[in-house]
Amino acid sequence: MKKLLFGLSAIALLLGTHTQAEETVDIHSPRGVHPVSGKSIDAVPASVFAGGDTTVFAENNKAFSRPLANISTLSRREHVVGNSFFNKNWVMAPSSTSSRDGLGPMFNARSCSACHMQDGRGCPPEEGEEALSLIMRLSVAGADPHGAPLPHSIYGGQLSERAIPGASPEGQLRITHEEVIALFGDGESTTLRKPTYEIAGLAYGEIGDVLTSPRVAPAVHGMGLLEAIPQATLLAKADPDDADGDGVSGRANLVYDVESGKKVMGRFGWKANQPDMRQQVAAAFCNDIGITSSVFPNENNTAIQNERFGLDKLPNGGEFELDEKVLSRTTSYLQTIAPPARRDWDKPEVMRGETIFSKIGCAECHTPSHQTDDSSPIKELHGQTIFAYTDLLLHDMGDALADGRPDFEATGSEWRTPPLWGIGLQKVVNGHTCFLHDGRARNLNEAILWHGGEGQASTDAYKELNRDDRAALLAFLNSL
């Protein structure tokens, strides 16, 4: 193909600039200039370019759906193929579209984008609605030989709320809320909604004792950059025993890499229980859509469900339902979605909020910046200075947020610091401002107030801020 392109360019040169440009699609963003203000980048804080050269300047509902700004034509083509498999519905087997069949037999959604809408964040259902972008992990006490949570003997590792004809959905998640008052130092108050979960309509028998963890679909932009932060950098920030006595520890999860059979650092998922994007993607295909792959070759139904209800007798999409190439392209797609640039960074209130963010300790875990290394096969990700505002480590977030369900090294009250880039655009992209692992916070103010455990001191400091300073901090967060 190189030869073909060369041949075309040679002819194109003869024909002048128009035809030449027709043959090369170059969509690099102009570096050196800040595209919005037209200012030299020397006059703009580095954090505006949240993903370094990969940053896209987009503020609309597609802000999380843009390929890396510096993407090459060939990477872009891989990206668009992966995008297709991320968006398109999977169909039940057998079908003529053999590379897109094998849905279920039990599933939560028919496509990745059903939950990660516009590549953004999911939200909990309104009371009485069916859950879609919020799933419920299940397990029982103990751990498997690799340290993973022990799946429930009947219902497995995740509640499947949908199924193809011939199988029954496992049950339906029901959420009820209770309002809790939170007081600020200046006498103002707000209410937080505390969710309670139950599972109705269990179709495969009594569930008995079970550990549960509700988790909302996270936004998926910038994942390739997070993956390209050197492990040593992350581990250097870990302080498992709080040796420096600042009340913030930070631990790396140690998880099972299915393909290498080794224990490695976890990076992705609400409890950092997946080592890399490839395994994360394969796990989501299996658990959420019922699509098997070389990484996870078994359907998400359990031996008991097969034995008693014959789920393994239902048609499947063959071995494996997810082609190696499709797994690879979907992974590449997610690795090459750009983080959006910061906005409003030059407003005085936002700049003041940034100072407060550091002063009250938010930046201890929401580490503003990292440098990527050159290890990724995707060259566009190499050597970028990124502003993701995460340390990718586990922190105790206190009892109120605890799910009580250990996940490898993560305890029932530990959660991984989520990245903050793009949070100010979530309203535009997803039409809501729900945050935290189960989306219980209805806005950023509530999200801050839920932080307990290692985050308690910062929450207390936030509560003591006056109204203007609280607004400034929120304005800063909304500029990300």
Partner 1 sequence: MAIHQTFCLYTLKKGGFSAILGVKLGFACFFLTGCQQSGSSNSTGITPKAVTGEDVVEHYANLVLATYSDALTAAERMRANIEVFCEAPSAGTLTAARDAYINARIPYLQSEVFRFYEGPIDDENGPEGLLNAWPIDEAYIDSVVDAPQAGLINNPAQMPEISPEALLAANEKDGEENISAGYHAIEFLLWGQDLSEEGPGARPASDFVSAPNADRRRAFLLAATDLLVANLQGLVDEWQVKGLNYRQRFLTKPTDEALNNILTGMTMLSGFEMASERLMVAYDTQAQEDEHSCFSDTTHLDVIYDIQGINNVFFGSYTRLDDNETMHGASIYDLLHAADPNLAETLKVITRKSLDAARDIPAPFDQAILGEDDAEGRQKILRSVEVLEAQSERLKQAGEALGLGPIQEVGS
Which of residues 13, 33, 94, 260 is near partner 1 by CB under 8 A? 94
What is the rounded end-to-end Cα distance, in angstroms, of the chain? 40
Amino acid present at 16: G
Site string for partner 1, 42-81 (x = CB under 8 A): ----------------x-x-x--xx------x---xx-xx
Which of residues 28, 194, 262, 325 is near partner 1 by CB under 8 A? 325
Binding segment (CB under 8 A) for partner 1, from list 116-124, 140-148, 301-309, 453-461: 116-124
Which of residues 48, 123, 131, 132 is near partner 1 by CB under 8 A? 132
Contact call for residue 343 and partner 1 (CB under 8 A):
no
Minimum CB distance to partner 1 smaller for 12 or for 229:
12
Structure tokens at 38: 């037209």
Minimum CB distance to partner 1 smaller for 82 or for 455:
82
Which of residues 31, 41, 45, 91 is near partner 1 by CB under 8 A? 91
Which of residues 69, 92, 284, 378 is near partner 1 by CB under 8 A? 92
CB atoms within 10 A of CB 390: 21
Which of residues 121, 215, 329, 451 is near partner 1 by CB under 8 A? 329
CB atoms within 10 A of CB 18: 8
Hey, which residues between 22 and 41 contact partner 1 (CB under 8 A)? 22-25, 27
Structure tokens at 215: 């988790």
Structure tokens at 480: 């990300």
Q: Is the peptide bond before 30 cis (omega within 30 degrees of 0)?
A: no
Which of residues 47, 48, 52, 110 is near partner 1 by CB under 8 A? 110
User: Are the beta carbons of 136 and 119 closer than 8 angstroms?
Assistant: no
Hey, which residues between 263 and 322 contact partner 1 (CB under 8 A)? 315
Smallest gap, in angstroms, from Cβ of residue 69 to partner 1?
A: 13
Closest CA to 375 of 234, 228, 224: 228
Binding segment (CB under 8 A) for partner 1, from list 106-114, 350-358, 387-395, 444-452: 106-114
Most distant CA atoms of the chain, gap in Å: 76
Minimum CB distance to partner 1 smaller for 164 or for 392:
164
Hey, which residues between 372 and 411 contact partner 1 (CB under 8 A)? none
Cα–Cα distances in Å, from 10 out to 16, 22, 230, 397? 10, 13, 41, 61
Structure tokens at 52: 């370094």
| Dist. CA 74–CA 399, nearest whole Å | 48
User: Are the beta carbons of 422 and 277 closer than 8 angstroms?
Assistant: no
CB atoms within 10 A of CB 374: 10
Which of residues 44, 71, 106, 119 is near partner 1 by CB under 8 A? 119
Contact call for residue 113 and partner 1 (CB under 8 A):
yes
Contact call for residue 237 and partner 1 (CB under 8 A):
no
Contact call for residue 162 and partner 1 (CB under 8 A):
yes
Number of alpha carbons in the 13 Å side-chain half-sphere of residue 122: 22
| Dist. CA 338–CA 321, nearest whole Å | 28
Q: Is the peptide bond before 320 cis (omega within 30 degrees of 0)?
A: yes
Cα–Cα distances in Å, from 74 out to 4, 65, 279, 334, 337? 14, 18, 23, 15, 15
Which of residues 54, 70, 75, 118 is near partner 1 by CB under 8 A? 118
Minimum CB distance to partner 1 smaller for 117 or for 410:
117
Give the footprint of partner 1 on this chain (CB under 8 A): 1, 3-4, 7-8, 11-12, 14-15, 18-19, 21-25, 27, 58, 60, 62, 65-66, 73, 77-78, 80-81, 83-89, 91-101, 109-111, 113-114, 117-119, 132, 162, 164-165, 315, 323, 325-326, 329
